[in-house]
Amino acid sequence: MTDETRSLRSGDPSLDDVLAEFLAAEETGAPPDRREFLERHPQHADDLREFFANRDQMQRLARPLQSPEPRTNGHALGTVRYFGDYELLEEIAAGGMGSFTRPAR
């Protein structure tokens, strides 16, 4: 019997559900105390410790990349203000393939 099957039979939440609960609480600005969270979910304690360690490491690595530049529409514009005959006013979208700006005409 797999851990997932055992979890479903016992009524325990799956690891995915537990992580979703933690991330949802974190997004509201009130992340649960990690120690208390581990105590509430002992069946996932090892995986949760690994998740917390990996999350902390990613946040440490990302910290220098966070720009202190002024932001428009929630995103940094960068240093390029003019592109050909156009002036870049604000970022209107961003995604995995880049960002899009609204040019002035």
Task: Render pLDDT for 1-58 as a digit per residue (tens, 0 to 9).
Answer: 455 544 445 678 999 999 999 999 999 988 899 999 999 999 999 999 999 999 999 8
DSSP 74-97: TEE--S--EETTEEEEEEEEEETT
> Among 24, 2, 16, which Cα is nearest to 44's?
16
pLDDT at 13: 92
Lookup: tokens for 31: 């992340």
Q: Are residues 26 and 44 in the same domain?
A: yes
Task: Give the C-alpha separation, 88 to 99, whole Å.
Answer: 12
Q: Are residues 38 and 77 in the same domain?
A: no
- Count how many domains the chain has: 2
Its domain, for residue 100, covers 71-104
pLDDT digits (tens, 9 = 90+) for 42-87: 999 999 999 999 999 988 888 877 755 555 555 555 566 777 778 7
